[in-house]
Amino acid sequence: MLKETIKKEWYIIILLIVPFGASAYLWNDLPDMVPTHFNIYGEADDWGPKWVNAIMFPAIGLATYLSLIFLPFIDPKKRIESRQKPIAAIRMLLSLFMVGLYAFMMAKSMGSELEVRIYVHVAIGFLILILGNYMPSLKQNYFIGVKTPWTLESEMVWKKTHRITAKLWTVGGLILVLIPFLITNQNIYWSICGVLLSILILYPIMYSYVIFQQLDVSK
């Protein structure tokens, strides 16, 4: 199964290896110290050696992909498979996201004036939006999805929670994509982002608890 998955997704592996070649090609042109972190205003507030952006970022992307490849083999109840469409889609999406993040960090390392705030929120917004569409297809498992004591205890709670999470993340992701272009006031912008992300994270958890209690009472 592992060999079949890797053979089928060879293009993702190439995508994740290309950044290492790009880093080798650009290595001598990179400054010794590069920006490695940015504050909420898009300003670099931490710096580090060039290997952080040139090597560590693509390594994290590759490690993330490989971890998702091996998840089915450590799943004690074998509820997920590498070839399941939502799992494969999540691997692809996260790989694209990590390569995009690498490209952005390398561009900033080379002195580009790219807008940090817009890139990050648009990328995260699209990631949440697309992942939301795959939520209803996820089977009950210990690794991917809304994993609470209540969703793991009841398959019905799992299904109901992921259906509502799909709708919530689709709308929330779209809002995250749009707000960088609609709101210029930084205080209002970050307030909306904070509230929205809190809802996207906390609502599915609370919903799973409420649904579980309702099902438990009905018994």
Query: What are the pLDDT digits (tens) for 136-166?
Result: 988 888 888 899 999 999 999 999 999 999 9
| Calpha distance 87→82 (Å, rounded) | 6
Tokens of 20: 């290492």
Judged against a pLDDT cut of 50, whether residue 119 lies above it is answered with yes
Counting beta carbons within 10 angstroms of the beta carbon of residue 13, is it exposed (0 to 12), middle (13 to 18) or buried (19 or more)?
A: middle
Contacts of 167 (CB under 8 A, 6+ apart): 132
pLDDT for 210 equals 94
| DSSP per-residue codes, 25-66 | HHGGGS-SEEEEEE-TTS-EEEEEETHIIIIIHHHHHHHHHH
Judged against a pLDDT cut of 50, whether residue 217 lies above it is answered with no
Whole-number Cα distances in Å, 90 to 31, 51, 110, 213: 34, 27, 30, 30
Q: Which pLDDT band holds residue 218 (cuts at 50, 70, 90)?
A: very low
| Calpha distance 183→215 (Å, rounded) | 42
Judged against a pLDDT cut of 50, whether residue 35 lies above it is answered with yes
- pLDDT tens-digit readout, 42-85: 677 889 999 999 999 999 999 999 888 877 666 666 666 555 66
| Calpha distance 73→90 (Å, rounded) | 17
Counting beta carbons within 10 angstroms of the beta carbon of residue 26, is it exposed (0 to 12), middle (13 to 18) or buried (19 or more)?
A: middle
Judged against a pLDDT cut of 70, whether residue 111 lies above it is answered with yes
Contacts of 64 (CB under 8 A, 6+ apart): 94, 95, 98
The mean per-residue pLDDT over the stretch 109-117 comes to 79
| Calpha distance 175→165 (Å, rounded) | 15
- pLDDT tens-digit readout, 125-139: 998 999 899 899 888
| Calpha distance 8→27 (Å, rounded) | 32
pLDDT for 2 equals 64
pLDDT for 25 equals 95
H/E element, 172: helix 155-182
Judged against a pLDDT cut of 80, whether residue 27 lies above it is answered with yes
